[in-house]
């Protein structure tokens, strides 16, 4: 149990032992470290108790395998889940410190890109809170997602040195190290009993060292583990190899270990085909699968029943080599026959698809794959051979089917096909997304194996994104309906009775105003831009990608600015357009879009003639920690992806939870958000997904018609190439102009239907403005959004994974005191 005085003493002692200083002499970073070690001390007891309970009760365990875990800061969240936040705040006050300021000292662990990585983090929070035995398995990247600096309007990537001061919440576990082998060749030996034995030889190895991070459940003493793997050379430098003339191999092994976990690939929804990435994948998967089997064997003698106690969830195709690695260990090390190993594997592995963007699909050239992972490749070849036989049996003589569905085809290993053929479950992440998978992208697979397909609409944890991120609103909600919403979000619907209550409306909007003030202050400090907290805060924060259409947003801002300039007396409610987005380092058009946003901001923000009616802000280095503050302050949530392209989206849910109103297309989970809150409490516009798909089947549409017939749009587009936002440089934004209109290039003009949706988007914005002018109507809509977000808790999502896919056993932790 938590004790304030013990805690204070522990903080003081920690500063002394860690830094040989008194609290008064310690730097803020040192205080953060000392406080965090004191918190870790409290966590460790529950961590031990949890692991002991798991050992005794032996519940089925999910291993959530993911290349990405976008955790965000741990200190504040851990304190809330431990129910110790207020006491620690007081303890620190008594010591002369501000908990918020200490929280700000924590690096923001960003071992992920965007939605997929943050979803994994929300899932871990829910698994622990619901009392399920779970491991997160991932990579301990030395450098996570890059830090973004904006210089002269352009994005600059700076390395994220999150480990430079040491990370207090991790625990190195060298006793669980595993060897991972790359390259070489496979020698086949005949055993006396006639069985074939496959031996990998002349390989390079790397030692995988696990670092464990505690995942604290809310108010239940459960502490699960996120296990991320670091790489080390196997025997630092082998002199004997040196003597034998194998100097090169020893050096290479050393280098492999150094590079393998060096950095997170900053691509989101774009497959680059880099060999190092495949090395990363096999590295953490081999170590994790070995660890899972070792743990299972400690308690169980019959490996055939592995799947009764263990399940692997593959977070997209990135961890899909787990299928072949499990087969390899079961056959080559446990001595099982193919059929036995196959039964276990296909009952253990399940796959989640997170995108239908074709350019995101992972396909590895056979050459590269078989060289790096010779034994794994053999096994995939055999899986493929048998799968093709199955296809032939089901569709005799149908070559088309084989061409479309084979795992290995055209010189490539297709990871999605491997995952679908070998897993017992395939799920999409929102209703619409799953339907598109079944009826379009994965149609052939669905027809052959319909029972595997299911939907699990994404969710988010209300504990980080309301309880921690928006403490004033969290308290207000608790004051009105009690605190059950913290672990039972659907309870939040009990706020609906306050939607028309004037006092409640005022309080709700006043909290929003306070949060806007906090964000305005942050913007002033970071951007030097003064924004009016009474203006509409219209926010789009997410990775920068063409399909997410930040370009539509900024083109519309250019249009509004033109309108105000042309009609200075027109009615106009002041608006602040806030953007936050990282672009993949090699994604040129995305980076140019960032430049455009900043260029428009420069012109518009400094034009005194418009009297501050529009402000444009690009928040540098959008990440989990500032996201929490941004959601809390938003009035309007921009969710404007081209319909059918956004698998789910999860920021839409975080905005809704915080009382922002969705301005969006009928895409991803927006569809379900509208279902919950009602169409009258959202602003929906644009092409529907079936319309987009229809256009695509017909080769697109003619944006030039729109350009020719609409002078407002034409004016905006011309401003891209007449230097309006580029100090007279007519070339700076030409690529963007070309992408929308040009027919000369190989790509379709306006692939993402920006001009097609432009006018409907502008109309939706006019409706936003009208609604906002009516203060009561807006307050009601905002309250109803918060009150209607119950479905979108990751607790619900996880419960559905448990009930419909994993079938885990619930556990209770009994502690002394």
Contacting ligand 26W (CB under 6 A), which of 10, 33, 648, 794? 648
Residue carrying the six token digits 């071992």: 111
Q: Is 441 in the site for ligand 26W (CB under 6 A)?
A: no
CB 645 within 8 A of CB 622: no
Nearest approach, Cβ of residue 361 and ligand 26W (Å)? 8
What is the C-alpha to C-alpha distance for residues 792 and 457, in angstroms, rounded to an integer?
8
Rule CB under 6 A: which of 456-515 touch ligand 26W?
A: 458
And the tokens for 59? 């519940």
Question: What φ, ψ does residue 608 adopt, rounded to 5°?
Answer: -65, -20
Nearest approach, Cβ of residue 786 and ligand 26W (Å)? 20
Cβ neighbours of 416 (radius 10 Å): 21
Rule CB under 6 A: which of 397-436 touch ligand 26W?
A: 429
Nearest approach, Cβ of residue 791 and ligand 26W (Å)? 15
Contacting ligand 26W (CB under 6 A), which of 106, 546, 646, 757? 646
Nearest approach, Cβ of residue 730 and ligand 26W (Å)? 34
The site string for ligand 26W over 663-692 (x = CB under 6 A, - otherwise) reads: -----x------------------------
The CA distances from residue 383 to 315, 377, 408, 427, 704, in Å, are: 21, 10, 10, 21, 49
In the complex with ligand 26W, the residue whose CB is nearer, 181 or 277, is 277
Q: Is 636 in the site for ligand 26W (CB under 6 A)?
A: no
Nearest approach, Cβ of residue 650 and ligand 26W (Å)? 5
Q: Tell me which stretch binds ligand 26W (CB under 6 A): 110-118, 254-262, 482-490, 712-720.
A: 110-118
Contacting ligand 26W (CB under 6 A), which of 140, 221, 328, 354? 354
H helical segments located in 606-731: 624-633, 651-657, 670-677, 689-697, 703-709, 711-721
What is the C-alpha to C-alpha distance for residues 658 and 312, in angstroms, rounded to an integer?
33
Q: Is 241 in the site for ligand 26W (CB under 6 A)?
A: no
In the complex with ligand 26W, the residue whose CB is nearer, 113 or 644, is 113
In the complex with ligand 26W, the residue whose CB is nearer, 72 or 114, is 114
In the complex with ligand 26W, the residue whose CB is nearer, 363 or 595, is 363
Contacting ligand 26W (CB under 6 A), which of 160, 170, 254, 268? 268
Least Cα distance to 662 among 480, 490, 784 occurs for 784
CB 719 within 8 A of CB 668: no
What is the C-alpha to C-alpha distance for residues 220 and 130, in angstroms, rounded to an integer?
9
Strand partners of residue 224: 215
Q: Tell me which stretch binds ligand 26W (CB under 6 A): 48-56, 113-121, 531-539, 804-812.
A: 113-121
Nearest 5°: the CA angle 99, 76, 463 is 135
Least Cα distance to 182 among 413, 411, 368 occurs for 368
Rule CB under 6 A: which of 362-391 touch ligand 26W?
A: 362
CB 434 within 8 A of CB 457: no
Q: Tell me which stretch binds ligand 26W (CB under 6 A): 160-168, 262-270, 342-350, 462-470.
A: 262-270
In the complex with ligand 26W, the residue whose CB is nearer, 119 or 726, is 119
Q: Is 650 in the site for ligand 26W (CB under 6 A)?
A: yes
Query: Which runs of E-coded beta strand occur in 60-164?
Result: 61-65, 134-139, 147-151, 154-158
What is the C-alpha to C-alpha distance for residues 614 and 669, in angstroms, rounded to an integer?
30
Q: Is 119 in the site for ligand 26W (CB under 6 A)?
A: yes
Residue carrying the six token digits 């997209």: 316
And the tokens for 676? 């919950």
Q: Which residues contact 259 (CB under 8 A, 6 or more apart)?
A: 276
- With CB atoms as reference, the residue minimizing the distance to ligand 26W is 115
Nearest approach, Cβ of residue 566 and ligand 26W (Å)? 37
Q: Is 590 in the site for ligand 26W (CB under 6 A)?
A: no
Q: Is 647 in the site for ligand 26W (CB under 6 A)?
A: yes
Q: Tell me which stretch binds ligand 26W (CB under 6 A): 107-115, 439-447, 681-689, 804-812.
A: 107-115
Q: Widest CA span of the chain, in angstroms?
A: 94
Q: Tell me which stretch binds ligand 26W (CB under 6 A): 96-104, 493-501, 641-649, 758-766.
A: 641-649
What is the C-alpha to C-alpha distance for residues 700 and 755, in angstroms, rounded to an integer?
12
The site string for ligand 26W over 307-326 (x = CB under 6 A, - otherwise) reads: ---------x----------
Q: Tell me which stretch binds ligand 26W (CB under 6 A): 216-224, 251-259, 630-638, 640-648.
A: 640-648
Rounded-to-10 torsion of CA 403, 408, 414, 419: 100
* Exposure on the CB side of residue 664, measured as CA atoms within 13 A: 35
What is the C-alpha to C-alpha distance for residues 418 and 408, in angstroms, rounded to an integer?
9
Nearest approach, Cβ of residue 270 and ligand 26W (Å)? 6
In the complex with ligand 26W, the residue whose CB is nearer, 79 or 436, is 436
In the complex with ligand 26W, the residue whose CB is nearer, 667 or 757, is 667
Contacting ligand 26W (CB under 6 A), which of 269, 515, 644, 788? 269
Contacting ligand 26W (CB under 6 A), which of 42, 43, 116, 578? 116
Total number of residues that touch ligand 26W (CB under 6 A): 23
What is the C-alpha to C-alpha distance for residues 468 and 7, in angstroms, rounded to an integer?
21
Q: Is 230 in the site for ligand 26W (CB under 6 A)?
A: no
CB 348 within 8 A of CB 311: yes
Rounded-to-10 torsion of CA 6, 7, 10, 11: -150
Report how far apart the first and last C-alpha atoms of the chain are (Å, whole number).
7
Q: Tell me which stretch binds ligand 26W (CB under 6 A): 6-14, 283-291, 353-361, 671-679.
A: 353-361
In the complex with ligand 26W, the residue whose CB is nearer, 549 or 780, is 549
Least Cα distance to 319 among 367, 370, 284 occurs for 284
User: In three state form, how does the secondary structure of 431-486 look?
Assistant: HHHHHHHHHHHCHHHHHHCHHHEEECCCCECHHHHHHHCCHHHHHHHHHHHCCHHH
What is the C-alpha to C-alpha distance for residues 756 and 705, in angstroms, rounded to an integer?
10
Nearest approach, Cβ of residue 545 and ligand 26W (Å)? 8
Catalytic sites, residue numbers: 354, 542-543, 548, 650, 654
Nearest approach, Cβ of residue 674 and ligand 26W (Å)? 16
Contacting ligand 26W (CB under 6 A), which of 77, 267, 281, 290? 267
Contacting ligand 26W (CB under 6 A), which of 76, 107, 114, 469? 114
What is the C-alpha to C-alpha distance for residues 618 and 550, in angstroms, rounded to an integer?
12
Nearest approach, Cβ of residue 688 and ligand 26W (Å)? 17
Q: Tell me which stretch binds ligand 26W (CB under 6 A): 5-13, 115-123, 130-138, 397-405.
A: 115-123
In the complex with ligand 26W, the residue whose CB is nearer, 653 or 779, is 653
Nearest approach, Cβ of residue 388 and ligand 26W (Å)? 25
Q: Tell me which stretch binds ligand 26W (CB under 6 A): 263-271, 442-450, 707-715, 784-792.
A: 263-271
Residues that bind ligand 26W (CB under 6 A): 113-116, 119, 267-271, 316, 354-355, 360, 362, 429, 458, 646-650, 668
């Amino acid at each position: 149990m938590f004790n304030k005085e013990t805690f204070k003493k522990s903080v003081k002692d920690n500063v002394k032992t860690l830094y040989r200083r008194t609290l008064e002499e310690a730097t803020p970073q040192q205080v953060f470290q000392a406080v965090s070690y004191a918190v870790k001390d409290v966590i460790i007891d529950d961590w031990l108790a949890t692991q002991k309970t798991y050992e005794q009760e032996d519940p089925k365990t999910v291993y959530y395998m993911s290349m990405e875990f976008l955790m965000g800061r741990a200190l504040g969240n851990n304190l809330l889940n431990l129910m110790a936040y207020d006491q620690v705040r007081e303890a620190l006050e008594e010591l002369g410190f501000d908990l918020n300021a200490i929280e700000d000292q924590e690096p923001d662990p960003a071992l992920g890109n965007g939605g997929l990585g943050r979803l994994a983090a929300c899932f871990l929070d829910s698994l622990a809170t619901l009392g399920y035995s779970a491991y997160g398995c991932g990579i301990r990247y030395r450098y996570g997602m890059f830090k973004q600096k904006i210089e002269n309007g352009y994005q600059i990537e700076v390395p994220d040195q999150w480990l430079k001061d040491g990370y207090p919440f991790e625990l190195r576990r060298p006793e669980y190290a595993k060897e991972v082998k790359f390259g070489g060749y496979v020698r086949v030996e005949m055993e006396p009993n006639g069985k074939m034995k496959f031996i990998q030889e002349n390989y390079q190895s790397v030692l995988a060292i696990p670092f464990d991070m505690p995942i604290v459940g809310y108010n239940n003493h459960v502490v699960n583990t996120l296990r991320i793997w670091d790489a080390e050379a196997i025997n630092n430098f082998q002199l004997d190899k040196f003597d034998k003339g194998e100097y090169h191999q020893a050096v290479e092994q050393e280098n492999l270990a150094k590079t393998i976990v060096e950095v997170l690939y900053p691509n989101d929804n774009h497959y680059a085909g880099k060999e190092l990435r495949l090395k990363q994948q096999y590295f953490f998967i081999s170590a994790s699968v070995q660890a899972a089997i070792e743990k299972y064997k400690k308690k169980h003698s019959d490996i055939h029943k592995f799947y009764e106690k263990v399940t692997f969830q593959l977070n997209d195709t990135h961890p899909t080599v787990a299928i072949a690695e499990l087969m390899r260990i079961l056959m080559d090390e446990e001595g099982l026959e193919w059929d036995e190993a196959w039964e276990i594997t296909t009952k253990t592995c399940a796959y989640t698809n997170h995108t239908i963007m074709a350019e995101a699909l992972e396909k590895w050239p056979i050459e590269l794959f078989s060289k790096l992972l010779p034994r794994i490749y053999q096994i995939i070849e055999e899986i493929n051979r048998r799968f093709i036989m199955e296809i032939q049996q089901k569709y005799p003589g149908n070559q088309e089917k084989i061409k479309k569905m084979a795992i290995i085809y055209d010189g490539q290993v297709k990871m999605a096909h491997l995952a679908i053929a070998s897993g017992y479950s395939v799920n999409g992440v929102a209703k619409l997304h799953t339907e598109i998978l079944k009826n379009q992208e994965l149609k052939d697979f669905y027809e052959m194996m319909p029972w595997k397909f299911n939907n699990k609409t994404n969710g988010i944890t209300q504990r980080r994104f309301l309880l921690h991120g928006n403490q004033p609103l969290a308290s207000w909600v608790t004051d009105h309906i009690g605190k059950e919403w913290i672990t039972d979000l659907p309870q939040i619907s009990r706020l609906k009775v306050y939607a028309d209550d004037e006092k409640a409306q005022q309080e709700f909007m006043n909290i929003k105003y306070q949060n806007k003030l906090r964000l305005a202050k942050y913007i002033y400090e970071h951007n030097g831009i003064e924004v009016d907290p009474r203006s509409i805060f219209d926010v789009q924060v997410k990775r920068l990608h063409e399909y997410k259409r930040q370009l539509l947003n900024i083109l519309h801002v250019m249009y509004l600015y033109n309108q105000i300039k042309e009609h200075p007396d027109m009615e106009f409610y002041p608006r602040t357009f806030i953007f936050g987005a990282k672009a993949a380092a090699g994604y040129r058009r995305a980076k140019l879009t960032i430049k455009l946003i900043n260029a428009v901001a420069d012109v518009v923000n400094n034009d005194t003639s418009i009297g501050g009616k529009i402000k444009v802000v690009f928040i540098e280095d959008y990440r989990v920690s500032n996201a929490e503050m941004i959601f809390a302050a938003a009035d309007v949530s921009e969710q404007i992806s081209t319909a059918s392209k956004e698998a789910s989206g999860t920021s839409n849910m975080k905005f809704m939870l915080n009382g922002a109103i969705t301005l969006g297309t009928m895409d991803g989970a927006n569809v379900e958000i509208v279902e919950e809150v009602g169409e009258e409490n959202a602003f929906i516009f644009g092409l529907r997904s079936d319309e987009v798909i229809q256009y695509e089947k017909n080769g697109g549409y003619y944006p030039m018609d729109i350009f020719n017939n609409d002078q407002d749009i034409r004016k905006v587009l011309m401003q891209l190439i007449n230097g309006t936002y580029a100090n007279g440089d007519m070339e700076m934004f030409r690529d963007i102009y070309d992408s929308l209109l040009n027919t000369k290039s190989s790509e379709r003009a306006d692939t993402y239907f920006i001009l097609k949706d432009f006018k409907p988007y502008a109309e939706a914005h006019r409706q936003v403005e009208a609604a906002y002018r009516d203060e009561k109507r807006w307050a009601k809509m905002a309250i109803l959004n918060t009150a209607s977000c119950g479905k979108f808790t990751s607790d619900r999502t996880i419960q559905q994974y448990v009930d419909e896919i994993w079938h885990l056993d619930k556990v209770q932790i009994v502690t002394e005191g």
